[in-house]
Structures are given as C-alpha cells and as structure tokens.
C-alpha cells in the first residue's frame, strides 16, 4: 500500500505572504496619498506629519520619513513645545543614531527644562562620536560645554586630556591646578598626588611641586616613588631635598625590615 504524500504548502505560503505584503504596501500608499493631501491643506498639523513619517518609514522611504521628522522637531522647537521637540528628536535618533546634531539638540532641549543629567548624557554621546571620528575641534567644543553643564571632576579631567591631545598644554595645566587645589582643600591626598603627577611633566622645574609630590609619596609609604621622582627630575644632589632623601631612605629600610 502506497504512503499518502502530504501536499507541499511552502510555495503557497510564500505566495500568500508576498501577496499580503503587496496588499499592505498598496494600503499604506493609499493612506499616504490621502495624508499628503491633508498635509497640503493643513501644513502646521504635526499629527499628520507624524503619521506620514510613520508610513514612509514602513514603506522603506527613510530619507523622506526623516525630512518629515526633522520638520516636526523644528516646528516644536520654534514654538517652545520642548517636551514634544524632545520626543520627536528621540524618534529621529532611533532611526539614525549617527546623527550627532540631534544628540546636541537633545542636550540643549533637556537643559532648557532643567534636566541636567539627561542633557549631560546627550553631550557625552556626541563627544564620544566626535572623538571616534577624530574631530578634535568638535570634541573640544562640546567637552567645554559639558563642563559648564556638569563641572564634575571626571568631566574636567577628560577636558584636560582633550586639551593635551590638541596640544593645549597651558589649558590642560590650568584644569589640573584647579583640580589639585580642590583636592587639597578636601584633604583628598590620593587624588592630589594623581593631579600632581599629571602636572609635573609640564612643570618639571617647579621645585615646590616636586617637593609636594615626594612628601605625598612618603605620606603613602612609597619611598621608592619619592626617590624615583628626585632622580627623574635631577634633584638628588639639590640641598633642598637632603632631608627628604634621608627620610625616604630611612622609610625604605624600615619597610624592608617589616617584611
């Protein structure tokens, strides 16, 4: 007895799927045409523009969808409808996350309504993208804006690093000095030493700075580091450092005996 062969449905399924897709596209095209006529009669109705953008996106007409979304952002921004402008800008970035201008726009919009953390985050995204692209001008520009919005130590350090990358040593040193002053006031000696270590290569003739770095290293029981600094900056024979060298050697011996 012959086995019954099951009918092959795959081809039929594919055709039905293709037909359904075609019917949906035809439906979208018809709705889109009606909406575009409505848009020409009501050019300031953003709900119509939004629906058109959604349909264009579904039809794969991304550039046209983006044009409508950008028009929506501009309309709401000019009208000071900040929350609506924020929502529209976020829709743009969902489709085209590489559009850095809209991260910056979002940052400015968030700032207008006092959402500092959200604003700072958008600027950080833009700064990261500019840095990856090697655009030092915009990286620096928006890093300076970020420090004004959120003057945290982390942001200041990053700005100082960008200054150094751009060959702006004076500006970098100004920030490191500011950070060092703040750390000293707070008696955060670990951070103070870190900032001094960053400053020292740019101010290697500063005897007071070298002395402070050595004292901080001894405070942290790092005599080898203190001696290494004095050797690096040719101060081992300087009479001003005689006591420090002696203390470093005594501490080194005491630490050796403890082991």
Give the model confidence (pLDDT) of 203-235 as tens digits: 889 999 999 999 999 999 999 999 999 999 999
- Are the CB atoms for 39 and 52 separated by under 8 Å? yes
What whole-number distance in Å separates Cα of residue 73 and Cα of residue 99? 14
Give the model confidence (pLDDT) of 158-185 as tens digits: 999 999 889 998 999 999 999 999 999 9
Whether 27 has a pLDDT exceeding 90, the answer reads no
Q: How far is CA 14 from CA 9, 10, 39, 58, 171, in A?
A: 9, 6, 37, 20, 65
- Are the CB atoms for 203 and 218 separated by under 8 Å? no
Give the model confidence (pLDDT) of 52-68 as tens digits: 888 888 888 999 999 99
- Domain borders along the chain are 78-150
22 burial (CB, 10 Å; 0-12 / 13-18 / 19+) is exposed
Of 34-43, 122-131, 143-152, which range is least confident? 34-43
Whether 35 has a pLDDT exceeding 90, the answer reads no
- Are the CB atoms for 68 and 49 separated by under 8 Å? yes
Q: Which residue has the tokens 């799927």?
A: 17
What whole-number distance in Å separates Cα of residue 17 and Cα of residue 42? 36
Q: Band the pLDDT of 15: cuts 50, 70, 90.
A: very low
CA angle 251, 254, 256 (to 5 degrees): 110
Structure tokens belonging to residue 95: 């489709």
Write down the pLDDT at residue 31.
Answer: 84
Write down the pLDDT at residue 3.
Answer: 54
Whether 192 has a pLDDT exceeding 90, the answer reads yes
Fold classification of 78-150 (topology level): 1.25.40
Write down the pLDDT at residue 30.
Answer: 79
Q: Band the pLDDT of 10: cuts 50, 70, 90.
A: low
Write down the pLDDT at residue 6.
Answer: 46
What whole-number distance in Å separates Cα of residue 225 and Cα of residue 166? 30
What whole-number distance in Å separates Cα of residue 29 and Cα of residue 36? 10
Q: To the nearest whole number, what is the mean pLDDT of the chain?
A: 88
Whether 247 has a pLDDT exceeding 60, the answer reads yes
What whole-number distance in Å separates Cα of residue 92 and Cα of residue 86? 10
Whether 19 has a pLDDT exceeding 70, the answer reads no
Whether 16 has a pLDDT exceeding 80, the answer reads no
């Amino acid at each position: 007895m012959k086995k019954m062969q099951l009918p092959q449905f795959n081809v039929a399924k594919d055709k039905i799927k293709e037909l359904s897709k075609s019917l949906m596209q035809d439906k979208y095209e018809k709705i889109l045409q009606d909406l575009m006529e409505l848009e020409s009669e009501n050019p300031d109705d953003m709900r119509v523009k939004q629906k058109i953008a959604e349909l264009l996106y579904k039809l794969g007409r991304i550039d046209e969808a983006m044009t409508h979304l950008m028009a929506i952002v501009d309309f709401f921004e000019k009208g000071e409808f900040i929350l609506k402008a924020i929502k529209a800008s976020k829709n743009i970035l969902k489709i085209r996350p590489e559009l850095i201008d809209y991260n910056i726009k979002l940052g400015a919009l968030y700032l207008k309504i006092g959402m500092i953390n959200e604003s700072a985050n958008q600027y950080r995204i833009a700064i990261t993208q500019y840095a990856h692209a090697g655009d030092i001008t915009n990286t620096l520009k928006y890093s300076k804006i970020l420090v004004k919005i959120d003057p945290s130590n982390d942001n200041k350090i990053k700005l100082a690093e960008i200054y150094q990358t751009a060959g702006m040593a004076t500006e970098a040193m100004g920030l490191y000095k500011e950070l060092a002053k703040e750390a000293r006031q707070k008696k955060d000696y670990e951070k103070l030493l870190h900032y001094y270590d960053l400053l020292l290569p740019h101010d290697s003739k500063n005897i007071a700075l070298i002395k402070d770095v050595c004292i901080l290293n001894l405070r942290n029981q790092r005599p080898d580091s203190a001696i290494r600094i004095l050797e690096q900056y040719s101060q081992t024979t300087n009479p001003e450092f005689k006591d420090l060298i002696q203390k470093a050697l005594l501490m080194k011996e005491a630490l050796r005996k403890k082991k």
